Amino acid sequence: MRQVLYALIPGTLLMSWIFGWGVLTNLILATIFCLGFEILAIKLRQRSVKIALSDYSAVVTAWLLAISLPPMMPWWMLLIGCCFAIIVAKHFYGGIGNNPFNPAMVGYVVLLIAYPLQMTQWLAPSHMVEALPSLANTLGVVFAGADLTIDAVSMATPLDTLKTELGLSKTLGEIRSTALFGTLAGAGWEWIAGLYALGGLYLVYLKIIPWQTPVALIAGMGVMASVFTLAMPDHFAPPTFHIITTGCILGAFFIATDPVSGCSSTKGRVIFAAGVGAIAYIIRGWGGYPDGIAFGVLLMNMAAPLIDHYTVPKAYGQSS
């Protein structure tokens, strides 16, 4: 799974460039916590720590969780998120290979439900502020609980803004004219999403992930978005806007492709990923949260065994 980590590097670097040190503190702390919990669980379960760490799965979980969370997370929130991801979602079910739910998404959703305010407060991208928080400021926020609003400008994500302002009956054109939005989606965000997509394509090229999953997820979201945009163009953002978000791209290439908690057959994987895309769109549009990829993944995780049951491919000689 080291290749997965390599594929995440470009997007993560750009993300740090745009949002500052907070991305890296997230990443470093989450990695330390996840590895710590992994070692603890493996020790308690009396398995080989060396073998458990050699597959890098805990690092991948940490990384996916860290880049899903708003930058500059307080350390204790990261600790809770990593604990739920590694201990509850993974090792309570028997460790790698046995978890029915995606560990990173479990950690994310626990934090989202428990701390909705902090979880929707993102830093403003670099082009909208005079200066990003300094390293000292960042460490202050992360470790000493300094107040974020004094030191840096925090704001909602483009998806969140879209949702709130649509709720205030503004038209799409008005909303998207602000500096938060770029040509296709969120300014700056669209480039991060683009680099994550590039990393994902690298994994497809290496055949580490099947191409069907990202295609189906993007199609699931794209079809839903197209239908509503065509019906009411002023009230629903076009499919490009929904697809070129870090949530959708990370979900398509890095999260819905988790083989352990997903489906087995190609047909099953397509249904799984399309379901994630559709559910995420529904939650974005009408749910209580700005993004729904995490919920979409967990809901489809629940459905995976059922999908598997009905999508067993015909073996050689069974078709006739």
Partner 1 sequence: MSSSNQKITPFHGGLHLDGHKQVSTQTPIASIPVPQYLHIPVPHNSEVTATVGEHVLRGQALTTSSNSMTPAIHASSSGTVRAIEMHAVVNRSGQLLDCISIETDGNDKSIEPLAALKPSADNKQECLDRLRECGIVGLGGAGFPTAIKVATDKSIDTLIINAVECEPYITCDDMLMQEQASRVINGAETLASIVSAKEVLIGIEDNKPEAIKAMQAAASNAERGKIVIVPTIYPSGGEKQLIQLLTGKEVPSGGLPADLGVVCVNTATATASYDALHQGLALTERIITVTGAGVKKPGNYLTRLGTPISKLLDFAETDHKVYQQLRMGGPLMGIPVKDTSSPVVKITNCILAEAAQPQHAEQPCIRCGDCVRVCPAKLLPQQLYWFTRATEFEKAEDHGLFDCIECGCCDYVCPSNIPLVDYYRHAKFEANNIKSERIRSDRARIRFEQREQRLERKAEEKAALRAAKLKKLKEREEAKAAQQEGTQDNKQDEIAAALARVKAKKEKTND
Query: Which residues of this protein are in contact with partner 1, per CB under 8 A?
Result: 51, 55, 57, 95-98, 210, 259-260, 262, 264-266, 308, 312-320
Tokens of 151: 């030191």
Nearest distance from C-beta of residue 230 to partner 1, angstroms: 36
Per DSSP, helices labelled H in 177-265 are 189-205, 212-231, 239-243, 246-250
Nearest distance from C-beta of residue 317 to partner 1, angstroms: 4
Q: Is 288 exposed, middle or buried (0-12, 13-18, 19+ CB in 10 A)?
A: exposed
Would you say 183 or 320 has its CB closer to partner 1?
320
Q: Which residues contact 39 (CB under 8 A, 6 or more apart)?
A: 49, 52, 53
For 137-166, the DSSP string reads HHHHHHHH---HHHHS-EE--HHHHHHHHH
Nearest distance from C-beta of residue 154 to partner 1, angstroms: 38
Nearest distance from C-beta of residue 87 to partner 1, angstroms: 17
Would you say 51 or 136 has its CB closer to partner 1?
51
Would you say 43 or 47 has its CB closer to partner 1?
47
Would you say 149 or 319 has its CB closer to partner 1?
319
Nearest distance from C-beta of residue 63 to partner 1, angstroms: 17
Would you say 149 or 318 has its CB closer to partner 1?
318
Which of 57, 106, 116 lies closest to 80, judged by CA?
Answer: 106
DSSP 182: -
